[in-house]
Amino acid sequence: MAKDKSLKSKPYKRKNLGPSDDSTEIMDTEVNTKRKKMDADEAPAQMSQLTNTTDDKKRKKNKKSKKEQVNQAAEQAEVLDPPSCPEGTAEAEGLEDLSPEEKRVLERKLKKIRKKEEKKRLKAEGVTLEQTKPSGPSAQQQALDYLTCWAENRSQWKFQKTRQTWLLQHLFDSEKIPDDTFSVLLQYLEGLRGSGKDTTVQKALSLVEESGKAPEDTVVQQRAHRAREVIQLLS
């Protein structure tokens, strides 16, 4: 009997083991899930960094704005009269939110501006600011007191070279050393020794010689009269 060709077994075909559409879709889903998770983890850090950057910009902007307010207030005060800006106040419109340090800066600026404007005003009016005179007795008074103490209270008197030098320098000047004091000074000079004595005698001789060239000059003649007394005492 003839064999039925239809009964012949067909050759075995190996199934394709490649990923199916379902498995591919699952893998894509897992990848997307991981990416979303990574994005979710990185998002807070990025947001934090962005927030910090924004806060820094805001702080810098606010700081700059306050500084501009201080400078603007100082410029406005420059055109005002000093009485309209009482010293020690930093309150101005729109500046209530300034910190204590910023208010102190504004006060210093306003104080400088007021002082500058006051000087300009006085200068325009022709008024000169008087310089404060040093307190205490003058060198002349101290020297005369030194000589008086030597004459009247010897126990309390102490030698002071500075006072003696002043007396020797103005020895022949009747305006600096009156006649009644000059007589006391002659007594003091009796104890003069060394280079001070030699210098005083040389100066006295020079004044006597000068008086011969100006016989009509009363000041020169008066100094020459004292010089002769000194020469007679110390020679």
The two three-digit tokens of residue 91, written as one number: 């309150």
Taking alpha carbons only, the member of 112, 78, 110, 64 closest to residue 91 is 110
- Give the Cα separation of 60 and 56 in Å (integer): 6
Please give the single-letter amino acid code of residue 26: I
Structural domain boundaries in the chain: 26-124, 139-234
pLDDT of residue 85: 45
pLDDT of residue 164: 94
- Give the Cα separation of 137 and 92 in Å (integer): 48
- Give the Cα separation of 141 and 136 in Å (integer): 10
Phi, psi dihedrals of residue 178, rounded to the nearest 5°: -60, 165
DSSP for 79-123, please give it: TS-GGGS-TT----TT-TT--HHHHHHHHHHHHHHHHHHHHHHHH
pLDDT of residue 89: 47
Contact yes or no for 73/106 (Cβ under 8 A): yes
Centre a 10 Å sphere on the Cβ of residue 139 and count the other Cβ atoms it contains: 12
pLDDT of residue 92: 47
Whose structure tokens read 């309209």?
A: 84
Rounded to a whole number, what is the distance in angstroms from the first to the last CA of the chain? Answer: 183
pLDDT of residue 87: 44
* Rounded to 5°, angle at Cα 55 from 54 and 57: 65
pLDDT per residue rounded down to tens, the chain (235 residues): 444 544 445 554 554 445 545 555 556 666 667 666 665 655 555 555 656 666 666 666 666 666 676 666 666 555 444 444 444 444 444 456 667 777 788 888 888 888 888 888 888 877 654 555 556 789 999 999 999 999 999 999 999 999 999 999 999 999 999 999 999 999 999 988 888 899 999 999 999 999 888 888 899 999 999 999 999 998 8
- Give the Cα separation of 96 and 86 in Å (integer): 17
* Buried b or exposed e, range 82-110, using 16+ CB within 10 angstroms: beebeeeebebeebeebeeebbebbeebb
Contact yes or no for 76/104 (Cβ under 8 A): no
Q: Indicate the burial class of 186 (C-beta count within 10 angstroms; 0-12, 13-18, 19 or more).
A: middle
pLDDT of residue 131: 53
Contact yes or no for 216/204 (Cβ under 8 A): no
Distance of CA 213 to the CA centre of its chain: 57
